[in-house]
Amino acid sequence: MKDIEFNLESKEIHPNSEIKGTVIVSYPGRYDGVVINTQILDSNEHIIYKSYNGKKISQNIARLFINKDIMPENKAEFTALIEFEPKQVHEIKFRASIIEQHKEIESKIIFAKYSI
């Protein structure tokens, strides 16, 4: 098993539909948390993270850091949203990384499609 497992509930994403994802860390060393970055290819738009591990996020953020201290059993679940109406199909790159002292230990990348 890798040190990080990262999954999306669905890889077909549509405007204003909830995106659900899970990150599980099995890294044996010390780490500070995980960060999830997202890039909507061929677009200047952003994904908006709404919650993680049941906690609502009050401001719009495009990059999500989840501290290890709030990851029971080294697991994090998050929800996000994309609000703009696409004029074409966009590929979305999700990257989850284990962070230790501002350094990336390991990461996993997932691609999804965004369309109407």
Which CATH code for domain 4-114?
A: 2.60.40.10
For the chain, domain boundaries: 4-114
Query: What is the per-residue pLDDT for 2?
Result: 86
pTM of the model: 0.91
Query: What is the per-residue pLDDT for 7?
Result: 97
Other CB atoms within 10 A of residue 76 CB: 24
DSSP string, the chain: --SEEEEES-SEE-TTPPEEEEEEE--SS---EEEEEEEETT-S---EEEEETTEE--S--SEEEEEGGG-GGGEEEEEEE--SPPSS-EEEEEEEEEEETTEEEEEEEEEEEE--
Q: Which residues of the chain have pLDDT under 50?
A: none
Which residues lie closer than 8 Å to 73 by C-beta, 6 or more apart? none
